[in-house]
Chains A and B, each alone.
Chain A
Amino acid sequence: MTDSQASLVSTSKADADFSDAGGPLIDHLLRWRPRLATATVFAGLVALLMFVCWGIQIKYGLGVAGINRPVFWGFYIITFVFWIGISHAGTLISAILRVTGAGWRRPVTRCAEAVTVFALCVGGIFPLIHLGRPWVFFYMIPYPNDRMLWPNFRSPLVWDMVAITTYLTGSLLYLSLPLLPDLALVRDRIASQGGLRHKVFSALSLGWRGTPGQWHGLDQGIKILAVAIIPVAISVHTIVSWDFAMTQVPGWKSTIFGPYFVVGAIYSGIAMLLIAMALLRRGLQLSTVLHDRLFNNLGLLFLAMTLLWGYFTFSEHLTTWYAGDLAEQIVHHRLMQGGSLMVLIAMVVVNVVIPLAVLPFRWGRRPLPLALVSCGVVVGMWLERWIIVVPSLSAPRLTFFEGSYSPTWIEIGILIGSAGLFAFLYLLFMQLLPIVSVWEIREGLIEDEHAQAAEDHSLEVAEPSGVPDASVASVVLATVADLRTLQVSAADADAKIVGLRSSAPLPGVTAAQTHRRPVPVLRFALIGALLGGLGAFLLASRSALAYPLPTGGMEIVAGPPVAIVTYEGTALGLILATVFAVVLAVRRDKDVVVSDELASRLATGEILATVEAESPEQLTMAVGR
């Protein structure tokens, strides 16, 4: 870690004036930023456009959109796939980087996860906008009902719903869990102010104290979630691709669609992430945290995705061009003429040509060029979905219907509005909650420091050593090395460290050292996975039999759909149980015995320890006084 970072997240006692601690990472939450606020209000107004247009559509009918026969799917499905695609960078990148232990990830994880959550929130609305009768969307949810009907688990749309629900839940929790220590940090910083904001942060941080038990639970939880969320993310966009690939529509029936969509999703997701990071860096003056190396690394990943996406796109179109299937030939032919060809060329230029001309070079991987290339890729990936959806539907097998499609202002309004909604949610998040993970950056600093030789510090006894019969003392420690010293001296004096709080996990300190058994998060997770999988299996395989619909020759229950639903259910169960276990670990230590008056010093990165001894003499000996 660089020096400039160290100054942002102070760990040295010299910076004990904690009004500066946490630096701009937290400060911006406590300050009024007129420009950001204006941008938020503006984005909110744009988002309103989406709901106004949707309202008009609900009132007058879906016909106000440009979709028609045979192009039954248009802007809404394109934009749905687009936003679900955008959601794929955040959580996936964050999870992969966490699993592989890439240190440079620390400043980027949270803003990436936020991209995922908000893109999913926006994308999740689109299937509803797309529905002819959105007010009966609940017909798609399996629940015991008076009509004695059940959804059709064979439909890829039901898989979609299950997968996106799992992914949204998982991503939201994966964003929220690592937020706890930082919420507590803000809570402690504004403890003196009191008021509503303090109450809200107290409630949100769930009683986080930073004890070894809590850190252990969180660490376990994040590791498990990171592993679990990767297959979920991949399954989500694969299933979105199956909405197309499961059909017999020429141009859609393709085995390559699964990986093609996943790659495209990650590609567009990284692009959106880079834009968000570049804006954050400027907007919140975070150039020292979101540093150049980060952009460089992500730029390389971006370049790799460019190549992968280009490869898939070429293969996809090559096979249709070569195979000679008549129906597919017609689709291909339509794609290669008129407006479609223009869209295709534009897509290739912004998605392949420009990135390949910029990204291989070091200057191209600096924030500004990256952000510009990313803007092109975001647009290009939207065009890619147009290329997938519209030409195929325009050329049905019976040529009686020659399809064409052009959107109306309702559809365009909803598209623009959705971008506004995404920006609004993101801007709101970055003003209300820490957008960069303070504790993870600090964890990195502590690890670096820990690797260096231990320095000699004198311990600061904060209280209540002056009272003669006191047997408990709170000690403020600057570094982990100091903690080691304290542990040794306490052991010599026959005293015990009964409480420990820190604003980042301490290397080598386990929950066991405070004499409490850690919550077995992994065991919870596995049981949850088992229950979730079993529940989903029964839901998909048995529940439909309780609602026996006459379906002619078609069997109600089939293997592959059951497998898909079970897969998602397993992941959902695992995620929920993990979070449950972590919350358990957090709540168990919420009353841990370290003075709350000192808590604000945690914000400076110091460690608070409580030492208990049988006599004041022993205590004095233990704490080195």
Chain B
Amino acid sequence: MILLVGSLGCAKSSAERTDVQASDPPELAAGAEVSSAGPGSGTQPVAYSHAVHIEAGLECKRCHAGAFENKRAGLPPLATCISCHRRTIPDHPEVKKLLAAWEAETPLQWVKVNVLPKASMVQFHHAAHARADVGCEQCHGDVASMAIAEPVIDVARMGWCVQCHRDNGATDDCLACHY
């Protein structure tokens, strides 16, 4: 679990004043490292297109394994990619990168797109929302049309969360998320 989290990465909201320090949890330290290369598609290790994969019929949970099961939806480890791409279009330049990484036994350093800022000191249970029939698009937008996944909602805006909770009769207890 910790290794997975370590590979997630986490971009830091510049609006939050707290600096990343050596004391930060590993996912934050890693995130700061990756995002220092600059935001945008260039920061992802391979040019992955959500649109192409969804069109090919892949379900969200095929890669985001924890989406309906766990607190975190999770980002796919390299093995998930390789399980298909060992045979599927292995000559594609981006897929070649995957295979090279597989050979070199270096994990993919995905950059997390939807990030809860550290200073918000808030927790999010992905499965709880997915199981409560909150549609993916409500928070993630129309991913099927995105070549590169982008945040459509400013998840740092608490009012957006609270409004949805109240509209749907979900709890509005602070302690449900802030701990």
B-contacting residues of A (Cβ < 8 Å)? 135, 145-148, 548-550
Contacts and interface: CB of A to CB of B under 8 A. Distances in A.
A146 B173 contact: no
15 contacts: A135-B17, A146-B157, A146-B158, A146-B159, A147-B158, A147-B159, A147-B162, A148-B158, A148-B159, A148-B162, A548-B172, A550-B171, A550-B172, A550-B173, A550-B174
Given A145-B159, A147-B162, A148-B163, 15 more contacts: A135-B17, A146-B157, A146-B158, A146-B159, A147-B158, A147-B159, A148-B158, A148-B159, A148-B162, A548-B172, A549-B174, A550-B171, A550-B172, A550-B173, A550-B174
In the complex, the 8 A-B pairs of residues with the closest C-beta atoms, listed nearest first: A146-B159, A147-B158, A550-B173, A148-B162, A148-B159, A147-B159, A146-B157, A550-B172
Contacts of B163: 148
Interface in B137-179: 157-159, 162-163, 171-174
Contacts of B171: 550
A147 B163 CA distance: 10
A335 B158 CA distance: 47
A545 to B, nearest CB: 14
Contacts of A548: 172
Contacts of B157: 146
Nearest to B162: A148
B103 to A, nearest CB: 47
Contacts of A148: 158-159, 162-163
B20 to A, nearest CB: 16
Nearest to B154: A146
Contacts of A147: 158-159, 162
A148 B165 CA distance: 12
Interface of B: 17, 157-159, 162-163, 171-174
A469 to B, nearest CB: 73
B74 to A, nearest CB: 29
Nearest to A145: B159
B77 to A, nearest CB: 36
A501 to B, nearest CB: 56
A395 B44 CA distance: 56
Contacts of A145: 159
Contacts of A146: 157-159
Contacts of B173: 550
A483 to B, nearest CB: 65
Nearest to B157: A146
B159 to A, nearest CB: 4
Quick one: which of A135, A145, A148, A548 has the most chain B CB within 10 A? Answer: A148
Nearest to A552: B173
Contacts of B159: 145-148
B21 to A, nearest CB: 12
A547 to B, nearest CB: 10
Which residue of A135, A145, A146 has the most chain B CB atoms within 10 A of its CB atom? Answer: A146
A329 B158 CA distance: 47
Nearest to B172: A550
A145 B163 CA distance: 12
B101 to A, nearest CB: 41
A361 B110 CA distance: 83
Nearest to B159: A146
B85 to A, nearest CB: 43
A58 to B, nearest CB: 10
Nearest to A146: B159
A128 to B, nearest CB: 16
B140 to A, nearest CB: 21
Nearest to B158: A147
A548 to B, nearest CB: 8
Contacts of A549: 174
Nearest to A135: B17
Contacts of B174: 549-550
A147 B157 CA distance: 7
Contacts of B172: 548, 550
A145 B157 CA distance: 11
A341 B159 CA distance: 53
A614 to B, nearest CB: 71
B151 to A, nearest CB: 17
B7 to A, nearest CB: 31
A300 to B, nearest CB: 53
A550 B170 CA distance: 13
B60 to A, nearest CB: 29
A17 B68 CA distance: 92
A548 B173 CA distance: 10
A550 B178 CA distance: 14
A146 B15 CA distance: 15
A148 B157 CA distance: 11
A548 B166 CA distance: 11
Nearest to B163: A148
Contacts of A550: 171-174
Contacts of B158: 146-148
A145 B17 CA distance: 20
A147 B160 CA distance: 8
A148 B17 CA distance: 22
A48 to B, nearest CB: 24
Nearest to A133: B17
A146 B162 CA distance: 9
Contacts of A135: 17
Contacts of B162: 147-148
B177 to A, nearest CB: 12
Nearest to B156: A146
A149 B163 CA distance: 12
A546 to B, nearest CB: 12
B173 to A, nearest CB: 5
A209 B56 CA distance: 84
A142 to B, nearest CB: 16
A342 to B, nearest CB: 41
A549 to B, nearest CB: 8
B153 to A, nearest CB: 13
B19 to A, nearest CB: 10
Nearest to A147: B158
A133 to B, nearest CB: 9
A550 B162 CA distance: 12
A107 B109 CA distance: 75
Nearest to A548: B172
A132 to B, nearest CB: 13
A548 B171 CA distance: 12
A165 B140 CA distance: 44
A459 to B, nearest CB: 71
